[in-house]
Amino acid sequence: MAGYARAIPDEESLDSGNRIQPFATTPMQVPGFIQAETLENAEGKKQNRSREILGLEDLFSLTVWRASVAELLGTAVLVFALDTIVISTIQTGTTMPNLILSTLAAITITILLLATFPISGGHINPIITFAAFLTGLISLSKAFIYILAQCVGAIFCALALKAVVNSEIEKTFSLGGCTLTVVAPGPHGPTVTGLETSQALWLEIICGFVLLFASVGMAFDHRQAKGIGRVSVFIIVGIVIGLLVFVSTTVTATIGYAGAGLNPARCLGPAIVRGSHLWNGHWVFWVGPAIACVAFAVYTRIIPRHHAHTMFIIEMFESIYTL
C-alpha cells in the first residue's frame, strides 16, 4: 500500500501542468538588445579614451599651467647652465673639455630634476614630454603646454646669455646652440666643415632612444622607481645624459658639429635669438628625437614590463626599503 500511495500524484501535481508559473528573476535577454548594448559600451569606451588622450580639460587647468612655469624656469636654467659650461670649458683651454663638460652636465641635470620633479614631474626636455604622451602618461594638451613652456624658457635663456657675453664669444660659440656645420676659412677661401645630415640624424635617434631606454624608462615605471628610489633614478638620468654628451662629442668629434642635441628646446632658443647658420639642419634636432620617442613607445607596447623573476626582485627591494 505504501508503494502504491507514493505512485499516486497529489492534487497539486495534477494541476501543475495548467498552473501559471512565476517569472524568472532574470529577464530573458533579446539578442538584438545585447548587441546594441555592447556596441553602445564600446562606443562609450572609445569616446572616453579619446577624451583621455586629448585631455582638453588640461588646457583650462590652472594646476597644469602653474606646473608649466616650473618647466619654463627649469629649462631656462638648464640651457643657461649647459651653454655657459660649454663656453667656459673651451675658453679655459682644458686638456679634456669633453670630460669636464659631460660631468658638469650630469650634475646640473640631476639637481634640476630634483628641483622640478615635485612640481611638474621634472621633464625640462621635449623628448621626455613627448615620450610621456606616447606612452599614455600625460595627455596631448598637457604635452603641448609643457613643450611650449620649455621652448619659451630656452628662448629666454638665449636672450639672457646674449646679454651677458660679449659679441666675440657670441659669434664664436653661437650662444651654445646646436650646429651641424660651420663656415671656416680655408686656403682657397671659406669652406664648410661639420657632420653630414644623415649621420647627425642617426646620432640623434640613437642617443635619444638610449636616453629613454636606459634612464627615463625607470622614471616612467612607478614600481621600479619606487624600488630604487627617485633620487637614484635622477642620478642615473644625469649620468646617462653625461655619457651621451661625452660620446657624441668625442667619437664623432669634428669641427663644426656641436654634438647630439638631446634637447630640442635647447637647440631652438639660440637658433631664434642668434639665427644664421644655426638653422642649417635644425630639423634634425627635432625629427631625430621624435623618431626615438616613437621607437621607445613601440618598445613599451611589445615588451612586457615585468617578468616573474624581476617582479620578485622589485618586491624584495620594496620590502627592504620599507623596513
Specify the number of domains making up the chain: 1
Q: Which of 148, 75, 127 is nearest to 290 (CA)?
A: 127
> Is residue 170 included in any domain, yes or no?
yes
pLDDT per residue as tens digits for the range 4-21: 344 444 444 444 444 444
Q: Tell me, what's the pLDDT at 116?
A: 93
Tell me which residue range forms the domain holding 118: 58-179+193-304
Domain membership flag for residue 188: no
| Residues 138-192 pLDDT 10s | 999 999 999 999 999 999 999 999 898 888 888 777 888 888 877 666 666 566 6
- Asked whether residue 216 is domain-assigned, the answer is yes
The Cα–Cα gap between 252 and 207 comes to 13
> Is there a domain that residue 287 lies in?
yes
Least-confidence region, from 121-130, 172-181, 264-273: 172-181
Return mean pLDDT, the chain: 79
Residue 235 CB partners (closer than 8 Å, separation 6+): 110
Predicted confidence at residue 71, as pLDDT, reads: 95
Q: Is the Cβ–Cβ distance between 287 and 198 less than 8 Å?
A: no
Q: Which three cell numbers stand for residue 125?
A: 626636455
The model's confidence at residue 72, banded by pLDDT at 50, 70 and 90, is: very high
Q: Which of 243, 246, 241 is nearest to 266 (CA)?
A: 241
Rg (CA), the chain: 31
> For residue 226, is pLDDT > 90?
no
Asked if residue 44 belongs to a domain, the reply is no
CATH number assigned to the domain comprising residue 262: 1.20.1080.10
User: Does residue 124 fall inside a structural domain?
Assistant: yes
CA-wise closest residue to 127 among 231, 266, 225: 266
pLDDT at position 30: 53
Tell me if 266 sits within 8 A of 192, measured CB to CB. Answer: no
Do residues 168 and 85 make contact, with C-beta atoms less than 8 angstroms apart?
Answer: no
User: Which single residue is written with the C-alpha cell 562606443?
Assistant: 43
- Return the pLDDT at 48: 74
pLDDT at 249: 79
**Does the pLDDT of residue 211 top 70, yes or no?**
yes
Report yes or no on 42 lying in a domain: no
In this predicted model, what pLDDT tens digit does every residue of 191-210 receive, in sequence order?
667 788 898 899 999 999 99
Whether the Cβ atoms of residue 76 and residue 156 lie closer than 8 Å to each other: yes
Q: What is the 3-state secondary structure (H, E, C) of 233-248?
A: HHHHHHHHHHHHHHHH
Beta-carbon contacts of 321 under 8 Å, excluding residues fewer than 6 positions away, are 226, 227, 229
3-state secondary structure of 251: coil
On the question of pLDDT at 231 being above 70, the answer is yes
In a domain, 40, yes or no: no
Triad 63, 236, 210: Cα angle to 5°: 90
DSSP class of residue 8 equals S
pLDDT score for 294: 96
Dihedral sign of CA atoms 207, 211, 217, 220 in order: negative
Reported as half-sphere exposure (CB side, CA atoms, 13 A), residue 23 has a value of: 4
pLDDT band at residue 63 under the 50/70/90 scheme = very high
